[in-house]
Amino acid sequence: MALCTSLFEENLCCPVCRDVFRDPVLLLCSHSFCRACLEQYWTHTERQICPLCRTSCSMENPLCNLALKNLCEAIMLERCKGASGGSAEVLCGQHKKKLLHFCLDDKQPVCEECLTSDSHTNCCLKLLDEAAVDLKLDLERKLQPLKEKLDQFRNIKRTCVQTEQHIKRQTQQTEALITKEFEKLHQFLWEEEAVTRAALREEEEQKSQAVKKNIRQINRDILTLSDKVTGLEEGIQASHISFLQNYKATVKITECNVKDPPILCGALIDVAKHLGNLKFRVWKKMQSIIQYTPVILNPNTAHPCLQLSDDLTAMTLCNRDTELPVNLERFDDYVSVLGSEAFDSGTHCWDVEVGESSVWAVGVISESAFKNRENLSEHGLWHVGYYKGEYGKGLSEMLTPFRLKQKLRKIRVQLDWDRGHVSFFDPDDNTHVHTFTHTFTEPVYPYLYNACPAEALRILPVHTSVTEQ
């Protein structure tokens, strides 16, 4: 029987702390653990897994195993009764008499004889059971705020864990995109190197062939002149009679129609052409693969239902599969996103392609309006937009309708922070749409809103050029 009891209690022990379960929770793999033990274990692991079978656990807040909890509490109660001698009466330590009252001043149980002592003459007393009930109720009231604070801390911890995991995902995704972009640059440079080397080899081949052709002609001329010199030397060395008899023929040998060898000009490799300003010339060519966008979107501010392009220039409304961590920078009421850079001086201009989007808005928002965006009815959002077939303008989330002669497919935002102007144009024909006037006293961010899932809003790149001065 003792063996059965031992096995029974052993199965009620947490695998982590090896003690009877306290507030047990149940994972999807059917294993149970003390809630505190499981949370402590997860703080030392990169992902949430079962401490026993290592199965991944997607439950952020595992459910309480209520049956196991009740059973363990009953076991602990029996242990306490056994340790105190079961139901034996607890006696006063001083007078060895039954405790019947509770002194509210000294916060301790007392017997009848304690009441007659001078120490409890003017004390406030209650029957033991009544005092226990009242004090337990008082502690339960004090326990509730602690439980709420505990839940608050657990929720904050879950948020921190989610944030840490999201940071790792962001790092991995960003690193992959960085590698991809540099691979494009490396490929371009490798191709340019190959083209430059090929041009050098081509010049080498052309000039080598020209020199070789000249050498062949010179060799032929040398052979002709050598024959003439040999003939003349033989004629001169002959006897006088023989020399005079062949004089006419010998004199003809001296006639030379061989032209002087040409002096080659530009025969050497034009090293300066291949090496001169090499990096600058390659840099100029890189304009064909490089784009500059005046505004880059900040993904940390994008509403959870917005998907940004890899280059952070376009936004599309979609259903996101992965849950994002709580982030105070993120829009949660409006499907909006901000530019990554705030402007607090100078002039700035960017074009947004709205295409066929049925619900959109673009403009600028002040830093304070963004931080207090739960109420955008205050001034701080200067934008124009399109909704239900009408164009509108406004200083808050509400738009005042106005008419345009033609449909906008692109819109230009032109900010003059120093002069306090926010102007909008149709970049296709430079038609003025609207201008807000305001004295800016704080930084403003580019603002984009898109509630149409069928069309993306995109910041258009600007033309860049490299010039020599």
- pLDDT, tens digit, for every residue of 59-73? 777 888 888 888 887
Q: What is the mean pLDDT of residues 426-432?
A: 92
At residue 123, does pLDDT exceed 90? no
Mean pLDDT: which of 3-17, 46-60, 258-272, 292-306 is highest?
292-306
Q: Give residue-wise pLDDT tens across range 214-253.
A: 899 889 888 988 988 898 888 888 888 888 888 888 888 8
The contacts of residue 1 (CB under 8 Å, 6+ apart) are none
Which of 22-36, 180-194, 414-428 is predicted with the least confidence, judged by mean pLDDT?
22-36
pLDDT band per the 50, 70, 90 thresholds, residue 1: very low
Q: Which domains are present in the chain?
A: 11-83 (3.30.40.10), 176-288 (no CATH), 299-459 (2.60.120.920)
Q: What is the mean pLDDT of residues 171-194?
A: 93
Predicted confidence at residue 348, as pLDDT, reads: 96
CA distance 100 to 126: 9
At residue 83, does pLDDT exceed 60? no
Q: How high does pLDDT run on average in the chain? A: 84
At residue 469, does pLDDT exceed 80? no
Predicted confidence at residue 376, as pLDDT, reads: 57
How many CB atoms are closer than 10 A to CB 460? 17
More confident residue, 108 or 285: 285
Predicted confidence at residue 162, as pLDDT, reads: 85
More confident residue, 418 or 15: 418
At residue 338, does pLDDT exceed 70? yes
Predicted confidence at residue 93, as pLDDT, reads: 67
pLDDT band per the 50, 70, 90 thresholds, residue 134: confident
Q: What is the mean pLDDT of residues 157-184?
A: 89
Its pTM surpasses 0.75: no
Q: What is the mean pLDDT of residues 159-187?
A: 90
At residue 450, does pLDDT exceed 90? yes
pLDDT band per the 50, 70, 90 thresholds, residue 457: very high
* Contact assessment for residue 423 and residue 363, using Cβ atoms and an 8 Å cutoff: no
More confident residue, 326 or 230: 230
